[in-house]
Amino acid sequence: MGGQMSIGQTLRERREERGLTPEQAAFQSRVPLRLLQALEADDYRLLPDAGYLIRFLQDYARLLKLDPDALQAEFRKAIRRPPGTSLVAVPPPAPPPMIPWKQVLWTAAAILVITPLVFIVLSLASKRAAERRPPPVAERPVEEQAPAEGQTPASPERPVTGSPGAEQPGGAASPAEAPAPTPKSPNAAGPALPAPAAERTPRRFQLTARAVEPTWMAVRADGGQERQVLLQKGQTARFAADTGFVVTVGNAGGIDLSLNGQHVPSLGASGQVVRDLAIPPVPRPEASGATPPGAVPALPGR
């Protein structure tokens, strides 16, 4: 490194001399594009742990034919932090908030004045609404007419209870009984309700990652888009897939994995980088037995 150029300026100038775009350099060095752009911009505020970031810096330096050790020394000198410390900027503690007593007093006085006024307005409004309601109309009882003199009050007709075909005195035939109403079928009461929608089928594999140390990982589920997460100690991330995952971990000893609730063997030592790990592992062609659906195959030792 010569002159007063920073690490980011040196990396960017050498990449442009070799005719590489940031995307091409990230692909060839296997450094995430987001971290590569942050290194070239000398922006270390949101980058992961220094010891973890130096590995990507060395990989990028080897691609650009630069001295990895010299860049590492310059990087540690630039950040002025001991190895293993986090590069996340810690904001200074905020001063205790000052209580605006004048504003509190004015607010309390306004509440004391407005509350009685609101109560009076609501009382007057409810009173006026009650006065505008029309009075209820009383129902008039039905008056029965008294029979005139010399007339016999009409008695209500009694239903005929005799059997069909029986003769009444005077030769009058009994009227036919009224047919009974036909009961309605319970099926004709109304249209049938639609059946409830089927519940969504859960994914076949559920991968849970819990960080025991600060670490970065990238997960691609079912060959789709890669998802990158930065986990601090104690944080957890969950992923779902139907066929499996491809996992890259920046700190193999700093993360615990479980697949469908079963613990996955350790991926490696603390600080070790593991790339493109298939979970569950792809079965070999010579394997005689197939893994049953939902089961977690044993990962090979690393």
Taking only the tens place, the pLDDT of each residue in 69-79 is 888 788 877 77
When pLDDT is cut at 50, 70 and 90, the band that residue 37 belongs to is confident
Pairwise CA distance, residues 81 & 88, whole Å: 12
Dist. CA 179–CA 287, nearest whole Å: 80
Using pLDDT thresholds of 50, 70 and 90, give the confidence band for residue 171: very low
Instruction: Return the ∠ at Cα 293 (arms to 252 and 223), rounded to 5°.
Output: 50
| pLDDT at residue 230 in the model | 93
Which band of pLDDT confidence, cut at 50, 70 and 90, is reported for residue 241? very high
Q: What is the mean pLDDT of the chain?
A: 73
Q: Of 226, 277, 218, 225, whose CA–CA distance to 250 is shortest?
A: 218
**Whole-model pTM?**
0.32
Residue 287 burial (C-beta neighbours within 10 Å; 0-12, 13-18, 19+): exposed
Calpha distance 302→299 (Å, rounded): 9
For residues 51 and 81, the answer to whether their CB atoms sit within 8 Å is no
Q: What is the per-residue pLDDT for 86?
A: 41
β-sheet with 255-259: strand ranges across = 236-241, 205-211, 255-259, 262-263
Residue type for position 56: F
When pLDDT is averaged across residues 142-166 and rounded to a whole number, the result is 48
pLDDT at 180: 53
pLDDT reading at 240 higher than 60: yes
Give residue 28's pLDDT band: very low, low, confident or very high (50, 70, 90): confident
For 252-277, letters b (16+ CB in 10 Å) and e give bbbbebebeeeebeebbeebebbeeb
Which pLDDT value is given to residue 172? 41
* CA separation for the pair 214, 216 (Å, rounded): 7
- More reliable by pLDDT, 128 or 47: 128
Q: Where are the beta strands (DSSP E) in the chain?
A: 205-211, 215-221, 226-231, 236-241, 245-249, 255-259, 262-263, 274-279
196 CB-side CA count, 13 A: 3
Q: Which residue shows structure tokens 């600060």?
A: 214
Res. 169: pLDDT tops 60: no
Q: How far is CA 294 from CA 88, 243, 246, 259, 260, in A?
A: 39, 10, 17, 9, 7
d(CA 271, CA 86): 14
Tell me: the pLDDT tens digits for 268-298?
A: 999 899 999 999 987 655 544 455 544 444 5
Check pLDDT > 80 for residue 17.
yes
C-alpha 299/C-alpha 256 separation (Å) is: 13
pLDDT band per the 50, 70, 90 thresholds, residue 120: very high
